[in-house]
Amino acid sequence: MQLRVSAVQYYLHTIHSFEEFSNQVEHYIKTAEEFGSDFIVFPEFFTTQLMSIGNANGEALTIQELPDFTEQYRFLFTNLAQAYRMHIVGGTHVIRKGDRLYNVAHLFYPDGRVAEQAKLHITPTEVNEWNMSAGDALEVFETEKGKIAMLTCYDIEFPEIVRMAKAKGADVIFCPSCTDDRHGFHRVRYTSHARAIENQVYVVTTGTVGSLPTVDFMRANFGQAAVITPNDIPFPPQGIMVEGEINQDMIVTADLNLELLYQVREKGSVTTWRDRRTDLYPNWETDRLVLS
């Protein structure tokens, strides 16, 4: 089984209408279609660009107002996934359930279905400044190209949750992220490599670039897309299949061969998934007492 993935280094800049947002999104999707991609992934918090549209007084919208765009966001991406016959990981969008805000990754299927995965680990800024709530369930999603999981930014820094995703059958982890400096970027990047090695999976990650001068906590972005592999003979020595130019508006594309994962799990130079010491620590294949 092989799938082609594209990851968008989404360029954040001030806009004045939802139509501008829609046109920018479709530009990237058209590019991925020209490359023949099966999946395209956008970054975390890229819809905060909609906050820069502002209100009647010329002030940026607040995070509490961002969920007001949810219906338009879902309509746009559902239609684009169907029109371009592509699986779209629509980055994350902030939604409201009751009186709570959640940072939610969305998977838009080519047949019109929509799946959600709320971010499970919330950063101090998300809690203290935006009053976000953490999701309480991990899902693995069946697609015609295999099983995937969507773990957002900070999530990838926790090895247990990726163990659980792999135990549930995920071969590809999509990791939309948003980091404002080199420190945050490298935390996500280095742990993405660790998770790929530990679980012998692919990790597809990307981040926001550019800036939103009027939107608090989105004034600085440091991002780079990458397709990360296990470190073994069938893969590139550094575990990087492709990566973008840091902080540039661009898209990267690569082919993922799932059969290579199965081969290295069975008879690779190291077999990290098979060699787990489940006599010493939890076996996530059988012990799913949390987030299942």
Reading the block at residue 209, the tokens are 């670039």
Q: Distance from first CA to last CA of the chain, Å, rounded?
A: 27
- Contact between 260 and 251 under an 8 Å Cβ cutoff? The reply is no
DSSP class of residue 289 equals -
Q: How crowded is residue 56: how many other Cβ atoms within 10 Å of its Cβ?
A: 5
Q: What gap in Å lies between CA 271 and CA 43, rounded to an integer?
A: 31
Q: What are phi and psi of 262, to 5 degrees?
A: -65, -35
* Residues known to be catalytic: 44, 119, 153
3-class DSSP state of 205: strand
Which residue type sits at 123?
A: T
